[in-house]
Amino acid sequence: PATTTITSTIPNEKLLDGLLASGFDEKSCLSRYQSYLYRKASPHKPSAYLISKLRNYEDLHRKCGPRTEYYNRTMRRIIRDRHINVKTTCKYIIWTAANGLGNRIVSMSAAFLYAVLTDRVLLVEFWHDMTDLFCEPFLNSSWEVPKSFHSLGHHKKIETYESLLKNDRGNTSRESWPSILHLNLQHGSNDHDKLFHCDHSQALLHKIPALILRTDQYFVPSLFMIPSFKQELNKMFPEKDTVLHHLGHYLFHPSNEAWGLITRFYQAYLAKADEKIGIQVRVLSTEESRTRNLMKEVLDCTLKNKLLPELDTKKSVDSSLKNKTLKSVLVASLIPDYAEYLRTMYWMKPTVTGEIIGVYQPSHEGEQKSGDNKHNMKAWAEIYLLSLCDTLVTSSQSTFGYVAQSLGGLKPWILYKSLGEKDPPLCQRAFSMEPCFHFPPKYDCTAKTKLDIGSVFPSMRFCEDINTGLKLV
Ligand code: GDP
């Protein structure tokens, strides 16, 4: 068969050690098979089991994906029999967007892993602001939910997961299950703990053919808490802190337009550097910009940890003729101030090490803009460029930085947000390259008590940047 021939001609490194399927048209998505030219080979190899799960998922997606006979038939039944027990061959989870691009990428990744674990097909709803950022991830199919799906919502009210739980708690014996359900896992005002991580809830959700998911969270740690998924996950990810590293490389290939932004910038400013350091400065609130001196924090962190060299204030010129090393600094921020300061600083004086420092910032958008495609395109390019650096400094609690670190396989230095201590550390090295799940469950489904994370889940720890968040190690 054609695929076998192609496999034998594509080197393993190009397919990221078997993570990517062969057989895609290369020109329509240059990044898919070119990314390996821009990154060092990852020391973390995908497990054979993960690879086989992905190939099986691709078969399922091809069979049930948009515009297939199965898709049309299932959607017709879902619309017609909204509240009758519907058993379908194909089941779906439809991801919908919330919040910024970093949040979207981490939550789509979690949704994909959930889909793989539950034999559902992941479909994504991209509005104008997200079109053409990514290539299609699944061979010979599409992951975008067809426009006709939207009309579904206008027919009748769709039941929610909360009402399903409420009914269940009330012990009302149900004769019929909804065929479609809103599953909102976004951290809510009143209910952080939606029992999604309990086997019992999973058994309820299992009965429902289509779930419309809304979340901005990286809820992967929840999946590791679910007893019925645990064994599968351990086989898929023998190294637990590589979940987004692998899923990110598998799912998110920059479109040709985004790849143009990435490669032109890379070739102009980063390719020739002996070392590349990425600094992401995210100001999350006006309160933060008023109370923190982020420029000082960046300097303290990078100079004291020798990520960047000190200035030689006594000299105005470095007279040594020895071969100079070039360090390129990529700054990502909504404002130009930090890069401007660093650039001027390294222009005015030589460095004590003799290193030459170049400072570059792709864009300064001023503010987060929602619903803007070009704005998201730049954000995506910058996340990806950060991930191509050798060392990262990121801002605490930022999913923008999380995606960059996981794609890059990097443990960043996190600019520490003081929690009121007298001498807070300048910055802290992350202990894992995984994102932090900001609002994890707090309830132990088996013991029916408050969850004691440390003793129940040895592969999870509280995050460096939010002490109530959880991450895999
Ligand atoms: P988080 O809020 O830091 O967790 O990250 P998100 O990506 O979810 O939301 C922040 C959004 O603000 C991004 O998606 C961008 O739209 C914008 N943004 C924030 N920082 C930057 C930056 O350094 N560069 C660019 N281009 N956009 C940014």
Q: What is the pLDDT of residues 43-96, one digit of tens each?
A: 999 999 999 999 999 999 999 999 999 999 999 888 887 667 778 899 999 999
8-state DSSP, 12: G
Q: For residues 355 and 315, what is the distance between their CA atoms, to the nearest angstrom? A: 14
Residue 7: the pLDDT is 46
- β-strands 460-462, 449-450 pairing: unpaired
Nearest protein Cα to ligand 1, atom 26: 379
**What's the CA-to-centroid distance between 361 and ligand 1, angstroms?**
14
Coil, strand or helix at 277: strand
Q: How far is CA 207 from CA 111, 118, 169, in A?
A: 18, 11, 17
282 lines ligand 1 (CB under 6 A): yes
Q: How confident is the prediction for the chain on average, in pLDDT? A: 91
CA dist., res. 391 & res. 270, Å (int): 13
Residue ID of nearest Cα to ligand 1 atom 22: 333
* Closest atom, ligand 1, to C-alpha of 397: 4
Mean pLDDT of 89-110: 97
The domains of the chain, with CATH numbers, are: 36-238 (no CATH), 256-472 (3.40.50.11350)
Q: Is 368 in the pocket of ligand 1 (CB under 6 A)?
A: yes
Q: Is 373 in the pocket of ligand 1 (CB under 6 A)?
A: no
pLDDT confidence bin for 194, thresholds 50/70/90:
confident
* ipTM for the complex shown: 0.99
Ligand 1 in contact with 434 (CB < 6 A)?
no
- Encoded tokens for 320: 């040594």
Strand partners, 472: 460
Q: Which of 244-253, 423-432, 450-459 has the lowest mean pLDDT?
A: 450-459
Q: Measured in angstroms, how far is the CA atom of residue 107 from the centroid of ligand 1?
A: 15
How far, in Å, is the centroid of ligand 1 from the Cα of 101?
7
- Ligand 1 atom with the smallest distance to the CA of 381 is 26
Could you tell me the two tokens for 46? Answer: 């995908």
Q: From the CA of 91, how far away is ligand 1's center (Å)? A: 33
If one residue of 400, 406, 436 were mutated to test the ligand 1 pocket, choosing by the most ligand atoms within 8 A of its CB, it would be 400
Using the mean position of ligand 1's atoms as its centre, give its distance from the Cα of residue 242 in Å.
Answer: 23
Q: Which residues neighbour 438 within 8 Å (Cβ) at sequence distance 6 or greater?
A: 187, 217, 218, 397, 463, 466, 468, 469
* Residue pair 178/83 in contact by the 8 Å Cβ criterion: yes
Model pLDDT, residue 368: 93
Residue 454 has pLDDT above 80, yes or no: no
Judge contact between 281 and 294, C-beta under 8 A: yes
Show the tokens assigned to 308. Answer: 């960047």
pLDDT by residue (tens digit) across 270-329? Answer: 999 999 999 999 988 777 777 888 999 999 999 999 999 999 999 888 877 777 899 999
- Evaluate: CB of 194 within 6 angstroms of ligand 1: no
Q: Establish whether residue 339 lines the binding site of ligand 1, counting it when its CB lies within 6 angstroms of any ligand atom.
A: no
| Residue-level pLDDT at 92 | 97
Q: Which residue's alpha carbon is nearest to atom 23 within ligand 1?
A: 333
pLDDT exceeds 70 at position 189: no
What's the CA gap between 434 and 403, in Å, rounded? 9
Nearest CA to ligand 1 atom 3: 398
* 3-state secondary structure (DSSP) of residue 438: coil
Please give the distance, rounded to the nearest whole angstrom, from the Cα atom of residue 466 to the centre of ligand 1: 18
Query: Looking at residue 1, what is its pLDDT?
Result: 42
Looking at per-residue confidence, does 1 or 91 come out higher? 91
Q: Which residue, chain included where needed, has tokens 């130009």?
A: 336
pTM for the predicted model, two decimal places? 0.95
Residue 15 has pLDDT above 70, yes or no: yes
348: CB partners within 8 A, 6+ apart: 311
Residue whose CA is closest, atom 16 of ligand 1?
368
Q: Taking CA 76 as the corner, what is the angle to CA 75 and CA 77, rounded to the nearest 5 degrees?
A: 90
Strand partners, 428: 414
Q: What is the pLDDT of residues 401-438, one digit of tens each?
A: 999 999 999 999 999 876 667 777 789 999 999 999 99
